[in-house]
Amino acid sequence: MVKVIVNGKEVEVSEGSVVLDAIKKAGYSVPTLCFFKGVYNEAACRMCLVELPNGKLVPSCAYPVSDGLKITTDSERLRKTRRMVLELILAVHKMKCYQCARKGGFCLLLDFAKEFGVEGIPVCAECPLHGEDCLLVKGEPCLGFLTIAGCGSPCTREGTPCFGCRGPVTREDVIETAVKRFIEHGVDLRDLHSRMKLFWSSFPQFKHVFDLVLKYEKKYMGEKK
């Protein structure tokens, strides 16, 4: 057996274990996205980073234990690093929540985005009305695609289009995809603008969202002509 000290608590794990095993044994947890025990441990997502006494950050899912190893699972630095990692992951995530087979169910990215205060995930990620059921397909001006997730989408669950009370997402790629989708489904853009104005027009920090929506409407309506 190998002794590992997790946040000051000593635990024993078998030879060949990784730090994540010791963390669990000590009763702590770290966020993991890509790790799937026995199936995938390539340390690709880096959400499970922990800190060694020499300041080095290592992925706990792949770092081997050694006798007397001390690790820290939570600190301001670790939280900031995990947040940054999550932002990078989200920056390349296609965010096609409306097509996701999970249909507003369990989504680790959404959970972590909430936990780490990272914006960019739209209400569509929580909405069960995906694919063919989506209100946009019926031509209804749902603002879910442009609105920050976190409400649990009570309105769309009741069949009512989202009117954006949580404020807009600010990621340009999400806004661009949303506009493409609005146009693709023939949503009345004037109707959509009125909805956007309802909650967002009195906030100057949201002006750039309006500007981006108009920019991409011009671009994609132009392509349609």
Q: Where on the chain is the footprint of ligand SF4 (CB under 6 A)?
A: 98, 123-124, 127, 129-130, 134-136, 142, 144-145, 147, 151, 153-156, 162-166
Query: Which backbone phi and psi does 163 adopt, to 5 degrees?
Result: -110, 15
Distance CA 114, CA 107 (A): 11
Least distance in Å: CB of 126 to ligand SF4? 8
Least distance in Å: CB of 110 to ligand SF4? 13
Query: Which backbone phi and psi does 122 adopt, to 5 degrees?
Result: -85, 165
| Longest CA pairwise span in the chain (Å) | 70
Least distance in Å: CB of 141 to ligand SF4? 9
Complex with ligand SF4: residue 12 or 184, whichever CB lies closer: 184
Complex with ligand SF4: residue 59 or 164, whichever CB lies closer: 164
Complex with ligand SF4: residue 121 or 136, whichever CB lies closer: 136
Complex with ligand SF4: residue 47 or 174, whichever CB lies closer: 174
- For β-strands 57-59 and 49-51, DSSP reports them as antiparallel
In contact, 60 and 48? CB cutoff 8 Å: yes
